[in-house]
A and B are shown apart, each in its own frame.
Chain A
Amino acid sequence: MLAKRIIPCLDCDFGVPQGRVVKGIEFKQIRYAGVPWELATRYYEEGADEIIFLDITASHERRETMVNVIKKTAERVFVPLTVGGGIQTVEDAKKAFDAGADKVTVNTAALNRPDIISEIAGQYGNQACVVAIDAKRRYENVEDRIVVPSSKGDCWFECSLYGGREFSGIDAVAWAQKVEELGAGEIMLTSMDGDGTYDGFDIELTETVSTRVMIPVIASGGCGNAHHMLEVFQKTHASAALAASIFHYHEWSIGEVKKYLAENGVQVRL
């Protein structure tokens, strides 16, 4: 049986030599966590099923650093590498693939120009094109939105772009279905309300999306402990769970999380 995947996510600032891993809370308040390739290697050795690098650099001279980090990582980390953040064109995606990435994630570029999904999928295969969706809960009524009952009242989910700095007005659930049609191989679904909070995954968001698409969904945003991972696998159809802070700051190792999941009946790679 296919195992649930545990994926550490490294938000990277490539504005300094070698790059650095940073982590914010609700997309703000940045803390430093280490050097990207070193951290990726540590996670690989701990049993990470995949590694995600997200480029959050503000400057534009970052590409060379990013390429070097991917190359160095791919020489010693033998699990899939996904690279995202700031991929605006197929040419950007090509740079990441050429450096050794197995998949890329697109977010803002896809919202602005959905055809980029089919272009990347057409060239590199559906499996190589991950669409990242950053979703924010909205409790006010708007017509034609997919409304989900939640403990805090009925809500819908709005797609954000530019790393949480802008909102699109687009319904995240409908968008997830659309990106599947366009050829996305996977959805990385981040709850903006949960990101960095340690309060747990957004179960309602994750379950709503993962039951409406037939491609894998990676749950992201809010993981504070192994129990949150267990909860997201028990209550939703997510194929993978992503976390950053709990791994960066040695609160849980990937091995400990997996052991806990296995003891509770979740299929994982040990």
Chain B
Amino acid sequence: MTIAIVDYGVGNLFSIYNALNHVGGSPELVDDPQKILDADGVVVPGVGSFGKCMQRLAPFETSILELLEEDVPLLGICVGMQLLFQKSEESPDEGLGWIEGEVVRLPKNVLVPQMGWNSISLKKDLSIFDDISEGDRFYFVHSYHCVPKDPSVTAATTDYGLELSACISRGNLFAVQFHPEKSGPKGLTILKNFVRSTKC
């Protein structure tokens, strides 16, 4: 049972690798779109700008879509969540567009980036939230946030100047704006639940 961390050349992936390893997953950094196809779970990380991430992720698009259609669980993290949307105010590049909606800049009345531990409010009862409680805090670092066209996509929200989407889910696709690999024991719980979902 392996979890492929899509290694498309942005940022360091040791953190997510170490964290998945710590919770008993068998992570592998995969930089070849063909090799992802064997995975039991796929993680799309993302650090840096939307445009740069999108350009580098493009070669993996077909493989990831194929996995999604085979019902393989997908976890998008931070910019890896934003890429699922149609577009972003950050860059002219089109996103994957698997979730309808766009990514917009945080409001002007708050410090940008949002950096630190914010509490989340759960909107859905999902197995990935097992042992997670209303108000638990996670580590966020971002300047843009996702606005899904269909509000029922939002699985959890957080309050930063406005109520924004902290987690989204649809079928086997789950994504978080925060960094579970940097969110202490609660973040590890989310990752542990994700690992478990790949074994069902």
Contact status of A79 and B184, CB under 8 A, knowing A2-B116, A49-B117, A127-B141 = yes
Question: How does the 8 Å CB contact mask read for B118-142 relative to A, with 1 for contact and 0 for none?
Answer: 1100000000000000000101111
**Cβ of A215 < 8 Å from any Cβ of B?**
yes
| Central interface residue in B19, B117, B179, by most chain A CB within 10 Å | B117
Question: How does the 8 Å CB contact mask read for A96-127 relative to B, with 1 for contact and 0 for none?
Answer: 01101010000000000000000000001111
Inter-subunit contact B47/A124 (CB<8 Å): yes
Chain B 11-67 residues near chain A, CB threshold 8 A? 11-12, 14-15, 18-19, 22, 47-49
Inter-subunit contact B187/A78 (CB<8 Å): yes
* Stretch in B68-76, B97-105, B107-115, B145-153 touching the partner: B107-115
Q: Which residues of A contact B137 (CB under 8 A)?
A: 3, 269
Question: Chain A interface secondary structure, helix, strand, loop or mixed?
Answer: loop
Q: Which residues of B contact A75 (CB under 8 A)?
A: 18, 22
**Cβ of A34 < 8 Å from any Cβ of B?**
no
**Cβ of B89 < 8 Å from any Cβ of A?**
no
Question: Chain B interface secondary structure, helix, strand, loop or mixed?
Answer: mixed
Interchain CA distance A185-B179 in the complex, whole Å: 17
One of B15, B115, B142, B179 near A100 (C-beta < 8 A): B15
Inter-subunit contact B48/A80 (CB<8 Å): no
**Cβ of B143 < 8 Å from any Cβ of A?**
yes
Contact status of A5 and B182, CB under 8 A, knowing A126-B143, A215-B111 = no
One of A2, A49, A78 near B181 (C-beta < 8 A): A78
**Cβ of A133 < 8 Å from any Cβ of B?**
no
B142 closest partner in A (C-beta): A127
A214 closest partner in B (C-beta): B111
> Which A residues fall within an 8 A CB radius of B?
1-5, 44, 47, 49, 71, 74-76, 78-80, 97-98, 100, 102, 124-128, 185-186, 214-216, 239-240, 269
- What are 16 A-B contacts defined by CB distance under 8 Å? A1-B118, A2-B118, A3-B137, A78-B15, A78-B18, A80-B139, A80-B179, A97-B12, A98-B12, A124-B47, A125-B47, A127-B113, A127-B115, A127-B143, A185-B113, A239-B111
